[in-house]
Amino acid sequence: MATRFKDRGCALDAIVGSPAVRTATTAALFASAIGLSADRVSINAELYFAGAPMLLRAASLFDDTCAAVMLVGHNPAVTDFVNDLVGLNSGIAIDTVPTSGLLQFELGIESWAHIALGDARLIEFDYPKKESK
């Protein structure tokens, strides 16, 4: 997934993940694959049992020098969060974000502190079994 992300010309400034072995490993491997230094990857213990509200809070804590960020978490919270982030009126409803699913959003905010549910526009939804374009 990191290769597909990088091949689309995408980059990240920071990654925050849950302390679970699988998510922490995913965050570290993803960072390495896209050339993001290990010091730009952090673990947030609150993400382990996080629901959608905690994922929103975690996103609001990113440094404003970061333009593109990634949260690595757990379902069903991730699926709930992405659906809440795009909002009920978007016409988008994702049944489940599969393991290693990757969603990209565009946000019209000046500061991560201003992120709110319903603010995002879904740009890309990729996952391992999705056919390549």
Q: Is residue 132 part of a domain?
A: no
Query: How would you write the pLDDT of the chain (133 residues) with one tens digit per residue?
Result: 999 999 999 999 999 999 999 999 999 999 999 999 999 999 999 999 999 999 999 999 999 999 999 999 999 999 999 999 998 768 889 999 999 999 999 999 999 999 999 989 999 999 999 986 5
Q: Has residue 131 been placed in a domain?
A: no
Contacts of 22 (CB under 8 A, 6+ apart): none
The answer as to whether 133 is a domain residue is no
In a domain, 86, yes or no: yes
**In terms of residue numbers, what domain contains 97?**
2-126
Task: Tell me the pTM.
Answer: 0.91
Q: How many domains is the chain partitioned into structurally?
A: 1
